[in-house]
């Protein structure tokens, strides 16, 4: 099932794969993503895709796109280059934030990219005490899916956690965004 959720100026194209039970509402996920895109400096209006899936699909995507074996909790597929977003301490790039100027059909908006979350993995991590940013938090599956959505959206917007400075900045922003949602 796919549906468009609007949290102005953003559109979230939410897809829930067959057999997946989302532990959090689409409205909450749209609000979380809207706050993340705004904070990360994405140029509005735009759309972002969020797919709630399972370990099998994430394992296939992980192998096909990253050459890694096994499932992961979240993967991001950005469609714009990192320098399309403002510079920030959470990314290797130092973007200009210059608007990407390309023609779109009237009434349409640029698509920033897609995030795919394994709800199966999120539930397992949350209930097993391996959730959160550091993998040592026991909290609700809803909180874990929200964190993964924020994390994925930050990657879409050019944020990374490969270096300690980037990781610290990204984790602080994730925490702040999740606190806003409470």
> Quick check: 141 and 122 in contact, CB under 8 A?
yes
Identify the pLDDT of residue 104: 62
Question: pLDDT (tens digit, 9 = 90+) per residue, 111-168?
Answer: 999 999 999 999 999 999 888 877 888 899 999 999 999 999 999 999 988 889 989 9
Q: How far is CA 86 from CA 13, 79, 97, 180, in A?
A: 24, 16, 4, 22
14's enclosing H/E stretch is: strand 10-16
Q: Do strands 74-78 and 2-7 pair parallel, antiparallel, or not at all (unpaired)?
A: unpaired
Average pLDDT on 87-103 reads: 58
pTM above 0.95, yes or no: no
Identify the pLDDT of residue 181: 74
Provide the pLDDT confidence category of residue 90 given band limits of 50, 70 and 90: low
Average pLDDT on 47-61 reads: 98
> Quick check: 41 and 33 in contact, CB under 8 A?
no
Question: pLDDT (tens digit, 9 = 90+) per residue, 29-46?
Answer: 999 999 999 999 999 999
Q: Percent of the chain having pLDDT more than 70?
A: 90
Looking at residue 154, the DSSP 8-state letter turns out to be H
Identify the pLDDT of residue 31: 96
- Domains, the chain, in order of start with CATH, read 2-180 (3.40.390.30)
CA dihedral 136, 142, 148, 151 (to 10 degrees): -100
More confident residue, 99 or 160: 160
Identify the pLDDT of residue 83: 83
Q: How far is CA 6 from CA 54, 115, 167, in A?
A: 25, 17, 30
Q: What 3-state class would DSSP assign to 148?
A: helix
Tokens of 132: 């959160």
> Quick check: 79 and 69 in contact, CB under 8 A?
no
Distance from CA of residue 167 to its chain's centroid? 15
Question: Taking the CA atoms of the chain, what radius of gyration do you get in angstroms?
Answer: 16
Contacts of 75 (CB under 8 A, 6+ apart): 58, 61, 62, 65, 66, 115, 116, 152
Q: How many residues would you count in the chain?
A: 182
Instruction: Kindly report the average pLDDT of the chain as a whole number.
Output: 90
């Amino acid at each position: 099932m796919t549906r468009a959720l609007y949290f102005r100026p953003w559109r979230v194209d939410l897809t829930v794969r067959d057999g997946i039970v989302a532990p959090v509402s689409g409205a909450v996920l749209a609000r979380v993503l809207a706050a993340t895109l705004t904070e990360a400096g994405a140029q509005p209006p735009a759309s972002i895709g969020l797919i709630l899936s399972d370990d099998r699909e994430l394992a296939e995507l992980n192998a096909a796109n990253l050459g890694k074996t096994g499932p992961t909790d979240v993967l991001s597929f950005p469609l714009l280059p990192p320098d399309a977003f403002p510079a920030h301490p959470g990314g290797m790039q130092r973007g200009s934030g210059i608007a990407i100027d390309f023609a779109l059909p009237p009434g349409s908006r640029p698509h920033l990219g897609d995030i795919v979350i394994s709800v199966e993995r999120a539930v397992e991590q949350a209930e097993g005490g391996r959730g959160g940013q550091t993998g040592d938090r026991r909290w609700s599956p809803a909180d874990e899916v929200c964190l993964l959505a924020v994390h994925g959206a930050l990657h879409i917007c050019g944020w990374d956690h490969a270096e300690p400075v980037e990781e610290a900045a990204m984790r602080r922003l994730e925490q702040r965004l999740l606190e806003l949602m409470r």
